[in-house]
Chains A and B, each alone.
Chain A
Amino acid sequence: MAVGAAIIRFMGLDPVSAYRALVLGSVGNLNAVGETLVKAVPLMFTGLSFAFAFRCGLINIGAEGQLYMGGLLSVCAGVFIKGLPALIHLPLALAAGFAGGGLWGLISGWLKTRFGASEIITTVMLNYVAIYFVSYLVTGPLKAPPGNFPHTEPVAVTAELPRILAGTRLHLGFIFALLAICFYYVFLWHTREGFELRVVGQNTEAAKYAGMKPSSSIMTAMFLAGGMGGLAGAGEILGVQHRLMQAFSPGYGFDGIAVALLGLNTPLGIFLAAVLFGILRSGGNMMQMMVEVPIALIYIIQALVILFVVAQIMAKPSGRRRLRSFLRDFRLFEASGGAGRIGSRG
């Protein structure tokens, strides 16, 4: 906060009124609280997206692309399937969003396990492909006929996520995001697959020794990570926008990285970090309008938060030892020949 204030001051603006706008815009009244939570929903999903992969030792920078593909499939399910009751239509549209993102994430998982291609690079590249693909569809085949706006038809009412708090835009996606966080916890800490996924993330060599299959854990992790990214897109489309357009995400996929890292990849941490960044996003809009502080400032804050967290972990001897031994094991695994393909980074 202090650093942020210093930056605002440096820009020749008044930090006090900037922060007042930030607070007013994020928690100042019921509507503002609703907006904050509306923004926190995709952040929880994209945070989970990064975290699922990270727990398996993978770096998923592709939540943005997964979000677009999820939004795309959910809008297809919402627009083209008609005449279903909401009880079936809505889950179907959400499942389509999950599948869209999941399959997109699975491409990177497959490229890594099959060819040893760094998931860091492939997820970034696939972001661009997904965004251009959606851009093509909404300006071409899926464009709603009347008018010149490049967006699709709205989804059927039966596929919309209903509002859950009168007077705000808060929608049912919030509940689904909380359920997703519960799923993250239960899956990773209370199922065999989740346990294997974490072991692979911490010490792939040991995992192999114990008879686990790192490649199948990697595929699972990337599918779930992609699916969470897809749900972020589906929630945004079905709950807020109701139609698909170009650039419908202001970078939620990238925010998710900071959310997960700040939340230390724990369920509660991700929830709190998502709400914090929701405050920054909704309050940031107000700050931009009232005091003309560019909203891009929140990226600077995010970066500083990550660096701060990283430095904090390194300052604690126990954390440092944990991370070092983690990295040493990681290295051992890489050095062990064939398996190195899976772990090759950078």
Chain B
Amino acid sequence: MGNEGLLNFIVSFLATDLRCATPILIAALGLVFIERSGVVNIGVEGTMLIGSLLGVVGSYMFGSVWWGVLTAVAATALIGALFAYFTVTLGADQVVTGTAINILGMGVTTTLNRLIFGLDKSIPPIDTFKVISIPVLSKIPVLGSVLFQQMLPVYVAFLLVPVAHVVLFRTPFGLTVRSVGEHPKAADTVGINVWKIRYATVIGGSCLAGLAGCYLSLGVLSFFIENMVAGRGFIALAAVIFGKYTPLGALLAALLFGAGEALQYRFQALGSGIPYQFMLMIPYVLTVAVLAGFVGKSTPPASSGVPYTKE
């Protein structure tokens, strides 16, 4: 009996970990490409927030979760284009612009949310992501229910890891992105359009942030709550640093941060007597601890944060 209880605990903990890691992982994969091309985007938090609201709005208006995803991704692509225009074309300070995007995200989502859904607490039912059991595989004992009974974005996130890895390290495009991040002038000299590459990574990465955001509002919950991203954008940034700017590293980091969040839910469910506020702190304290413990070994791309201009 004792063993079975422990097993159940581990299984449900791992399943929760995957679910919690997913939004961080999706956003982090986008950030890996953005950072690798030499752009620092701390606006990912606000971008995710816009993704989570517009996912709900799209699903609410058009009656399908897929329209929600499409709306969210389209909106965050626009946000990405805005960010790229300021930081790449105008050469504005990336951190300041990112901060503006975060504030914009908070303002736009809160305003739209109150206008569309009002302040009354009645939540209209919307179409959300469903749990998809993979035939056969989900019947594997223990692992099956952890790995193969999840929502679509979870599968997508984990399948994206090898894809991102191959694209970044085994394709000409990936090489171009990395060279732009390391030495934009050299890249420019051999005929690479630095601005175009940075636009591509920023817009693509922002779309992924939007996807991560709408997984929060259409998967984890089934509605939008103000400031629901709650720092996950910044945790994704930390995951990219901790993961040494690689997709595989981001995966491990996201699983670690997801475990912190999963731990919090487990502790709360067990009723350990620790005040819930301390549980809620776990993911944030964990992120700070990880950053402090490991960041010294992680080097950002050489031209990180520097706008590129031809001279």
From B40, B111, B292, A111 is in contact (CB under 8 Å) with B292
Inter-chain contact A126/B288, CB cutoff 8 Å: yes
Nearest to B285 among chain A residues (CB) is A129
Inter-chain contact B96/A261, CB cutoff 8 Å: yes
- Which A280-305 residues have C-beta < 8 A from chain B? 294, 296-304
Inter-chain contact A125/B284, CB cutoff 8 Å: yes
Stretch at the interface among A212-220, A237-245, A321-329: A321-329
Cβ-based interface call for B206 (8 A)? no
Inter-chain contact B100/A346, CB cutoff 8 Å: no
Kindly state the separation between the CA atoms of A90 and B241 in the bound complex, as whole angstroms.
44
Nearest to A311 among chain B residues (CB) is B90
Cβ-based interface call for A132 (8 A)? yes
Instruction: Tell me whether A133 and B281 are in contact in the complex, defined as CB-CB below 8 angstroms, given that A111-B291, A306-B96 are known contacts.
Output: yes
Inter-chain contact B241/A346, CB cutoff 8 Å: yes
Instruction: Tell me whether A132 and B40 are in contact in the complex, defined as CB-CB below 8 angstroms, given that A328-B306, A346-B300 are known contacts.
Output: no
From A61, A115, A135, B291 is in contact (CB under 8 Å) with A115
Cβ-based interface call for B42 (8 A)? yes
Cβ-based interface call for A310 (8 A)? yes
Stretch at the interface among B124-132, B140-148, B192-200, B231-239: B231-239
Inter-chain contact B92/A61, CB cutoff 8 Å: no
- Which A1-49 residues have C-beta < 8 A from chain B? 11
Cβ-based interface call for A274 (8 A)? no
Please report the total number of B residues contacting A with Cβ < 8 Å: 55
From B90, B231, B291, A118 is in contact (CB under 8 Å) with B291
From B91, B241, B277, B303, A132 is in contact (CB under 8 Å) with B277
Residues of A within 8 A of B237 (CB): 118, 120-121, 346
A303 shortest CB reach to chain B, Å: 3
Nearest to A331 among chain B residues (CB) is B306
State the main secondary structure of chain B at its contact with A.
Answer: helix
A141 shortest CB reach to chain B, Å: 10
Inter-chain contact A121/B306, CB cutoff 8 Å: no
Inter-chain contact A120/B115, CB cutoff 8 Å: no
Residues of A within 8 A of B306 (CB): 327-328, 331
Residues of A within 8 A of B156 (CB): none
Instruction: Tell me whether A341 and B103 are in contact in the complex, defined as CB-CB below 8 angstroms, given that A126-B284, A294-B114 are known contacts.
Output: no
Cβ-based interface call for A187 (8 A)? no
Inter-chain contact B287/A125, CB cutoff 8 Å: yes
Inter-chain contact A136/B86, CB cutoff 8 Å: no
From B111, B231, B302, B304, A124 is in contact (CB under 8 Å) with B231
B300 shortest CB reach to chain A, Å: 6
Cβ-based interface call for B174 (8 A)? no
Inter-chain contact A324/B291, CB cutoff 8 Å: no
A283 shortest CB reach to chain B, Å: 16
Residues of B within 8 A of A334 (CB): 304
Inter-chain contact A306/B90, CB cutoff 8 Å: no
B310 shortest CB reach to chain A, Å: 12
Q: What are 24 inter-chain pairs, A to B, with CB distance below 8 A?
A: A59-B99, A111-B292, A115-B291, A122-B288, A122-B291, A124-B45, A125-B231, A127-B231, A132-B281, A257-B99, A294-B115, A296-B110, A298-B107, A303-B101, A303-B103, A306-B97, A306-B99, A310-B96, A311-B90, A311-B92, A324-B307, A341-B295, A345-B305, A346-B42
Q: Which residues of B contact A (CB under 8 A)?
A: 35, 40-42, 45, 86, 90-93, 95-97, 99-101, 103-104, 106-108, 110-111, 114-115, 230-231, 234-235, 237-238, 241, 275, 277-278, 280-281, 284-285, 287-288, 291-293, 295-296, 299-300, 302-307, 309
